[in-house]
Amino acid sequence: MRTTSLAATPILDDANIRAQDQARVAALRQQPGRIQRVLLALMLIGPGLLVMIADNDAGGVITYAETGATYGIGFFVPALVLGGFIAYVVQEMTVRLGAVTHRGHAEMIWGRYGPFWGWFSLVDLVLANVLTLITEFIGITVGMTVFGVPPMWSAVAALGVDAAILLWLRYYTWERVSLWIAAGNLVFVPVALMAHPQWSAVSHAFQHWSIPGGVTAGFLFVVLANFGTTIAPWMLFFQQSSVVDKGLTVADIRHGQFDTALGTLAMVAVAIALVILTGTVVYGQPGSPNFDIQNIIQVIGARLGPTGQDLFALGLVEAGTIAAIALTASTSWAVGEAFRWPKSINLPPSKAWRFYLPGLGSAAIAAAIVLIPNAPLGFLNLTVQVVASIFMPAAMLFLLLLLNDREIMGQHVNRLWQNASAWTIVGFLVILNGMYGVSVVFPKGF
């Protein structure tokens, strides 16, 4: 860390606040002792936990719940562990890239590969984020309907929460409040335990990993949806920008990796809990493969009682809320980076309204679309999958090129095993996303 006199250097508000955050980290690092090490770890966790838990968004919850309802526990519980490994490998790279360069993902693409790929990435990201936000508000309104709250009120309230914490809180506090909201994602674990799952069936799934009913078009579609839920383009942009805004440096990379691993564990635990829950109480019911989320909530209510139903609905609302918070920040950071605006949650809205506007505008648009009577929500959901399937391999390619750019990364370039894992994931994604694209465009021929 470079040290000079701040008094001699005119710095922006955000740099000043970040310097104070970094000074707290430096002070803890200088003190020996186990308690100080724990405090340091607690202070440095955040971006990894947030991105991974926000990845269990409303769309993810619905996907996992429907997966368990359709296929039971058998194939997907072990598959989600593999998904967690993939997510960790991808997201860990954003920690190193952000900590080494102190630049966001959009800024790196724009600056290194020029405006064509910069615009391509930005338009894709913003479009996908708006469409994904629509699915978050759908999840929030559906969840709140269980408590008798009209969609109009729940959508407006969710938008209000999103805007309030982004506008009123500065980065560190914003991150801490978001982490508390994210902790609500774990509610699915006790709900799964309430279902009294057969642990022998879970153990059997790991010992005898098999595909129920063989490989069919429907099964492949669910596999694609599950892996599509595990990693998404916004996650790369969000975590890298978050690492930069938090002020992490190369000295913090190990803590960033720990943070990402912790988030991965939480994400996988919740995803598995959802599959176990619906695999236990919904799977095998007449017509369960065709159940939508409302049907699943009703069955959970019938089997676990109102407490189980309410907790599940709360979890759905939380999942939509934390993802909306992350997606909103992701959009603002990316647009700010692309246009070189002041781009930090440390900045007050009065000094950086342009930074906050794209994120909050996209959230407001998404909330409004959900409330339009007879809006083609199914069509929009399909479109987000198509956009994401085009964009994800591209986003991964940029990430890998940057992580192998020694001029930028120096000694922190990818190691051999990281490249081997990441390129395998890219190949896997291209094939899966290509098949997914073909399947949604030609559903009958798939």
Partner 1 sequence: MDNQHSQIVAITEPEPPVPLRRITPRGSVQLAFWGLRVYIVGMLILVAIGFSRGLH
Name the site residues for partner 1 (rule: CB under 8 A).
1-7, 9, 11, 15, 18-20, 22-24, 26-27, 30, 100-103, 107-108, 111-114, 117, 120, 247, 249, 376, 378-379, 382, 386, 389-390, 393-394, 397, 401, 408, 430, 433-434, 437-438, 440-442
CB count within 10 Å of CB 117 equals: 15
Minimum CB distance to partner 1 smaller for 264 or for 421: 421
Minimum CB distance to partner 1 smaller for 27 or for 193: 27
CB of 189 to partner 1, least distance (A): 37
Short-list 288, 283, 222, CA closest to 446: 222
Question: For the packed helices 76-101 and 253-281, what is the interaxial angle rounded to 10 degrees?
Answer: 160
CB of 101 to partner 1, least distance (A): 5
CB of 415 to partner 1, least distance (A): 18
CB of 325 to partner 1, least distance (A): 24
Q: Which residues of 85-110 are buried (b: 16+ CB within 10 A; e: fewer)?
A: ebbbbbbbbbbbbbbbbbbbbbbbbb
Minimum CB distance to partner 1 smaller for 114 or for 284: 114
Minimum CB distance to partner 1 smaller for 280 or for 421: 421
The residue type found at 315 is: G
Local structure of 230: helix, strand or coil: helix
Minimum CB distance to partner 1 smaller for 114 or for 190: 114
CB of 119 to partner 1, least distance (A): 13
CB count within 10 Å of CB 227 equals: 22
Tokens of 260: 């990402």
CB of 376 to partner 1, least distance (A): 6
Alpha-carbon torsion 98, 350, 118, 90, what sign? positive
Minimum CB distance to partner 1 smaller for 276 or for 352: 352
Short-list 153, 137, 170, 143, CA closest to 364: 137
Cα separation, 5 vs 9, whole angstroms: 7
